[in-house]
Amino acid sequence: MTNPVAYSSAADLNERTLSYLTLILNTIESKDWKSLYQIGLSKPSTFKALARIISTTDEFNGMTFLHAVVRHDPPLCIVTEIMKICPGDVRARDCLNRTPLHVACGVGANVKTIRCLAAAFPQACNIQDEDGRTPLHFYCDIECQLFEGDDGKMREPPSYEAVYCLLSASIASVGLEDADGMSPLEYAICSDANAKVVKLLQKAAQKHLRDSKSKANDVDRVRSSGAAKVA
């Protein structure tokens, strides 16, 4: 099987391909999900070919169709269909080291989408972007701006269901700090999260700390045992 062609720039695309690609991206931008299905998802082989192009063209900065779609909080059926056609997209990272789960959390996507992405690739929960932020950081910080030019519209406070979903995928994410030294719990408090959400994050942080100490103690015991046998 030959490797997919990598395009260094959009200028390398022929006019017809570029026009089709632009049409699909505009459909996503306008949240016209019915048209996206008709002109894109209903033709899996063509959509997959375009997905390879967009992921290897410099101007798109590592973005995939899944990154683009979840930015606009689509119906779950659109997300699952893209994942079916392009299963690798859920693991893809853009130029800022963000997966589709980072983007979904950063725009406050619905809990069904967050749950779907986290279940498909739970490792994304521990991936830190170039600013040290995980999906949990983004979800708990309702004032975050994912990209330049975003309107900065404040979201609703983090929901219990989505936070629980992210912690279930990886409790370790609760103990990570971003480049500003902020934890998801601190962002949740600043975002006026309700007491139930704050308590959930506090309990998760305490459990993670206990588990980390227990693992460290186990490692020390193993090392001590090994040193004793050598002696």
Q: What is the average per-residue pLDDT within 5-9?
A: 48
Structural domain boundaries of the chain? Answer: 1-92, 96-218
User: Which residues have C-beta within 8 Å of that of residue 2, sequence separation ≥ 6?
Assistant: none
How far is it, in rounded angstroms, from Cα 214 to Cα 203?
Answer: 16
User: Alpha carbon of 162 to those of 73, 82, 92, 166, 175: distances in Å?
Assistant: 14, 21, 21, 6, 17
- Note the pTM of the prediction, 2 decimals: 0.86
Query: pLDDT for 215-225, tens place per residue?
Result: 765 554 556 55
User: Which residues have C-beta within 8 Å of that of residue 41, sequence separation ≥ 6?
Assistant: 47, 78, 81, 82, 85
Number of neighbouring beta carbons within 10 Å of residue 109: 24
Query: pLDDT for 163-177, tens place per residue?
Result: 999 999 999 999 999
What is residue 58's predicted lDDT score, i.e. its pLDDT? 83
Class of domain 96-218: mainly alpha
What is residue 15's predicted lDDT score, i.e. its pLDDT? 83
Query: pLDDT for 92-150, tens place per residue?
Result: 999 999 999 999 999 999 999 999 999 999 999 999 999 999 999 999 999 998 877 67
What is residue 25's predicted lDDT score, i.e. its pLDDT? 94
- Of 64-78, 180-194, 215-229, the poorest mean pLDDT is in 215-229
∠ Cα 179 160 185 (to 5°): 25
The b/e string for 15-43 (b: 16+ C-beta within 10 A; e otherwise) is: eeeeebbeebbebbeeeebeebbebbbee
Task: Report the chain's mean pLDDT, rounded to a whole number.
Answer: 88
Q: 143 and 133 in contact (C-beta within 8 Å)? A: no
